[in-house]
Structure 1
Amino acid sequence: MARSQSQLPVWLHWLDTCPSTNSWAIAHRSSLRHGDVVFTPQQTAGRGQHGRVWQAPPGVLTASFVLESISVAQLPVVSLGAGLSVIYAVEDLLPNLQNTLRLKWSNDVLLDGRKLAGILCEATANGSMGRVIVGIGLNCCVDFEQAGLGADAIGQALSLHQVVPIVPEALALLERLRHYLLQTAGLLQPKHNANESTGLTALLPALRNRDALLGHTIIVETDSEQVAGEAVGISDRGHLLLRLPNGEVRSFVSGHILWQKHETRLSI
Structure 2
Amino acid sequence: MTFSLGPRATSSGYRLAAFDSIGSTNAEALMRARAGETGPIWLVTKAQTAGRGRRQRAWVAPYGNLASSILEVIDTSPGVAATLSFAAGLALESALKAVSLEACVRSSGSDDVTFRLKWPNDVLAGGRKLAGILLEAETVAHDRLAVVVGIGVNVAAAPDGMPNAAVSLRDLGIDIGAEDVFRALSEAWVEFRDVWDQGRGFRSLRRLWLDRAAGVGQTVSVQSGASTISGRFDTLDDDGCLIVMTSDGKRVAVSAGDVYFGTAASIGAT
Instruction: Name the TM-score class by shorter chain.
Output: 0.7 to 0.9
Q: C-alpha distance in 1, partners of 2:36/2:143?
A: 22
| Distance verdict in 2 for CA 1:202–1:234, change over 3 Å | same
Partner of residue 139 from structure 1, selected from 143, 150, 154: 154
Contact 2:158 / 2:167 at 8 angstroms: preserved in 1? no
Paired residues in the alignment total 246
Tell me by how many angstroms 1:70 deviates. 5.5
| Distance verdict in 2 for CA 1:215–1:131, change over 3 Å | same
Q: C-alpha distance in 2, partners of 1:220/1:128?
A: 34
- Where do 5+ consecutive residues of structure 2 fail to align? 4-9, 105-110, 266-270
Tell me by how many angstroms 1:133 deviates. 0.6
Tell me if 1:82 matches 2:96: no
Residue equivalent to 1:66: 71
Q: C-alpha distance in 1, partners of 2:24/2:203?
A: 32
Residue equivalent to 2:258: 256
Tell me by how many angstroms 1:111 deviates. 0.9
| Distance verdict in 2 for CA 1:128–1:78, change over 3 Å | farther
SS at 2:26 equivalent:
helix
Amino acid at match of 1:76: A
The two structures, once aligned, show a CA RMSD in angstroms of 2.7
Q: C-alpha distance in 2, partners of 1:48/1:161?
A: 22
TM-score, length of structure 1 as denominator length: 0.81
Q: Which contiguous aligned blocks of 4+ residues in structure 1 show a shift greater than 3 angstroms? A: 30-33, 96-99, 126-129, 187-190, 259-263
Residue equivalent to 1:100: 114
Q: C-alpha distance in 2, partners of 1:67/1:104?
A: 24
Amino acid at match of 1:131: A
TM-score, length of structure 2 as denominator length: 0.81
Contact 2:64 / 2:178 at 8 angstroms: preserved in 1? no
Q: C-alpha distance in 2, partners of 1:138/1:125?
A: 28
Q: C-alpha distance in 2, partners of 1:41/1:215?
A: 37
Residue equivalent to 1:266: none
Residue equivalent to 1:41: 46
Partner of residue 155 from structure 1, selected from 132, 156, 164: 164
Tell me if 1:27 matches 2:31: yes
Amino acid at match of 2:245: R
Q: C-alpha distance in 2, partners of 1:170/1:133?
A: 20
- Where do 5+ consecutive residues of structure 1 fail to align? 4-8, 191-195, 264-268
Contact 1:67 / 1:185 at 8 angstroms: preserved in 2? no
Tell me if 1:177 matches 2:181: no
Map Cα deviations across residues 53-106 of structure 1 (whole Å, 9 max, x no partner).
111122321111112325221233111211111100111222255781110001
The percentage of aligned residue pairs carrying the same residue is 28
Partner of residue 206 from structure 1, selected from 205, 208, 211: 208
Tell me by how many angstroms 1:125 deviates. 2.2
| Distance verdict in 2 for CA 1:59–1:158, change over 3 Å | same
